[in-house]
Structure 1
């Protein structure tokens, strides 16, 4: 089922799209550069509180978390009495991200499995003592002039920084990644180029829902070429 995005202004030059909504939850696009939830700084606004205020609801609960620099689809619960059901729905869903990375891989598709151990600022890939992580990568297009590749990552597990640390391990870190990038030019990038693009799930009525976000304009501007995604 297709839904027309509902565009909402959260602040000056800050917008979101409501991509899907039902009685129990909604799917919205988090912009890059804003925290998903409340931080230690009480004066710093976060995406969840801003959206709740704009929608006129007392509270929204974030079911999936995106890093500060990551944009894209977020699932937000509208009532606490469905928390477990929403978490189960998200756990069983298919989640796909798009990214721009440094370099041009020789491979077009790759399944990467490893163990990830959580740390303070970053996570590490370890031989033992971590949690299993699996991602299926697909390169959609390459841009030799910029030495950049455009790709998609389907996560089969939900570990912190999973896509970012795996791409670094493969030698093709996410463009603009402040933690895992090799490049000294990272600070010059306008953002980190990782976007939660697609979520496929079964709703509470048993219907299969396929929700997609738009390719961010910053991606198009960075490669200076059109980008397309084949389902």
Structure 2
């Protein structure tokens, strides 16, 4: 089902098609304009112009599917698909995989694998990332299959019901069992990879709860209210409890315990772009983090 459908109500009659799609259907100006140019907007099964005046019980059809291409080479890859429909796909990314091709990583990225996956299924989709993860962070990533779902998901990320939660294993035992870290994060220089807590930075809020304490550390659940680069890693390091394996923000060499930062995006809650129904998804803790927990428990 690639077409969005709306039936005009009595109090909506008299509106122009453009106004209805923007205000009532909450579609972006860019999306509406592109669809109109390509003849993908119909009223009562007939292509209409955006200045068409709507009548009660008119049925608007908005075709979200269109021909698209992307300069990403398809590469066969084992993908763990957690959820999929005609609008989006959620995959559980393994650690050590870059999300999108870069100069340093032109191949072997999640996007390469997704393009192959789409083509193999006969779907003419491009990779529209709704969320991203660092190369060494594992977990759930949302990818939109069309421009409409990307627009809707990006818009809804600002809503309270859109939640991204992580699990991390940190050095030491946090004094408070739960709380909120509200500290601004700043990028010192344009070429700096590392971020710092600094009053000149952007407002950054992380909610945390200690799930379990061990002799040498804690398993912590973290939920983001904002989404700054390296936010969880910066906040936990600033508290004096860096994540195990975090070579950028940690203070110890943990390579004998784990080969990457022990951070996993384990839970997503978000409204579906088409139906508005809340989607709740979870993934289990990866094996390397489980092994780390065993080590610091003894």
The answer for the alignment partner of 1:3 in structure 2 is none
In 2: Cα distance, 1:22 partner to 1:54 partner: 14
Partner of 2:269: 200
Which structure 2 residues correspond to residues 45-64 of structure 1 after superposition, within 5 A? 45-56=108-119, 57=123, 58-64=125-131
Contact in 2 for aligned 1:48/1:61 (Cα 8 Å): no
Aligned residues of 2:140 and 2:266 also touching (Cα < 8 A)? yes
TM-score, length of structure 2 as denominator length: 0.66
Q: Distance in 1 between matches of 2:285 and 2:165?
A: 13
Whole-angstrom distance in 1 between the partners of 2:283 and 2:157: 17
Question: What is the CA–CA distance in structure 2 between the aligned matches of 1:173 and 1:10, rounded to whole Å?
Answer: 35
After TM superposition, the runs of 4+ consecutive aligned structure 1 residues lying more than 6 A away are none
Residues 163, 10 of structure 1: CA spacing in aligned structure 2 closer, same or farther, 3 A cutoff? farther
Structure with a larger share of its residues in strand: 1
DSSP 3-state at the match of 1:158: coil
Which has more radius of gyration? Answer: 2
Hey, what's the Cα distance between the residues in 2 that align with 1:165 and 1:100?
14
Aligned pair 1:101/2:173, yes or no?
no
Unaligned runs of 5+ in 2: 1-74
Which residue pairs with 2:234 in the alignment?
165
Match of 1:117 in 2: 186
- What corresponds to 1:41 in structure 2? 104
Task: Give 1:80 shift.
Answer: 2.5
Aligned to 1:214: 284
Root-mean-square deviation over aligned CA pairs: 2.0
- Of residues 130, 144, 148, the one that matches 2:217 is 148
Aligned to 2:61: none
Call closer, same or farther: CA 1:43–1:212 in 2, change over 3 Å: same
Q: Do the aligned partners of 2:79 and 2:113 also contact (CA within 8 Å) in 1?
A: no
TM-score w.r.t. structure 1 length? 0.85
Which structure is higher in RCO with an 8 Å CA cutoff and minimum separation 6? 1
Superposed displacement of residue 52, structure 1: 2.1
Distance across 2 between alignment mates of 1:205 and 1:194: 31
Q: 2:70 — aligned with what?
A: none
Q: Is the 8 A contact 1:10 1:16 kept in 2?
A: no
Alignment gaps of 5+ in structure 1 = 1-8
Listed one character per residue, the Cα deviations across residues 53-78 of structure 1 (whole Å, up to 9, x for unaligned) are: 13325521111110111010101011
Residue matched to 1:6? none
Does the 8 Å contact 2:98/2:105 carry over to 1?
no
* Residue 86 (structure 1) aligned with residue 149 (structure 2): no
